[in-house]
Amino acid sequence: MILGMSTSMFTLVHVILSLVGIAAGLVVMFGFLTARIFPLWNRIFLATTIATSATGFLFPFGGITPGIVIGVVSLVVLALAIVALRKGWTRTYMITAAIAEFFNVLVLIVQSFQKVPALHVYAPTGKEPVVGVCQLIVLLVFITVTVIAVRKPTPAEPALKRFAAGAR
């Protein structure tokens, strides 16, 4: 039992939070590229991504795992994202939000190869090159999108500042 739920129910809640966070994060990143801010989507992204990282620590585990390390780093990045948002450091918020979204997608890739039978056949141990290649491709996409968003002549900065002002 975890938080009064069976482990399978808790896992389902954790997975739903994660998928909602990933979907919301993609909307947020789309907003960065189009200089539009979606306040509700930003709030959903931050709340569910924090909840995903936090609930990950409640699973029974032995020792330090890659998931624990990603969870800790993700929470630090999310804390910085919230500070950046509140201080009006819009480009810092864009970068930290993108990093947090990348961590979510990185875990999604690993979990997909472990849990989805159609993918598991290609990486039964999770250490096969195909997993690393997928992660590398996603990393390159996230870096490219973030650089484009931050360097745009008209970045989402004014809209993010208005959003940040309303969030205080």
Tens of pLDDT along 19-73?
Answer: 999 999 999 999 988 888 888 999 999 999 999 999 988 888 778 888 889 999 9
pTM over 0.85: yes
pLDDT band at 153 (very low <50, low <70, confident <90, very high): low
Mean pLDDT value across residues 142-148: 94
pLDDT band at 155 (very low <50, low <70, confident <90, very high): low
Contacting residues for 26 by C-beta, under 8 A, at least 6 apart: 101
In the numeric block, which tokens belong to residue 112? 């997909």
pLDDT over 60 at 168, yes or no = no
Angle at 119 between CA 118 and CA 121, to 5 degrees: 80
* Closest C-alpha to 17, from 80, 107, 92: 107
Domain ranges in the chain are: 7-155
Q: What is the pLDDT of residue 53?
A: 94
Mean pLDDT value across residues 111-129: 87
DSSP 17-75: HHHHHHHHHHHHHHHHHHT---HHHHHHHHHHHHHHHHHHTTS---S--HHHHHHHHHH
Q: What is the pLDDT of residue 64?
A: 86
In the numeric block, which tokens belong to residue 129? 């090159």
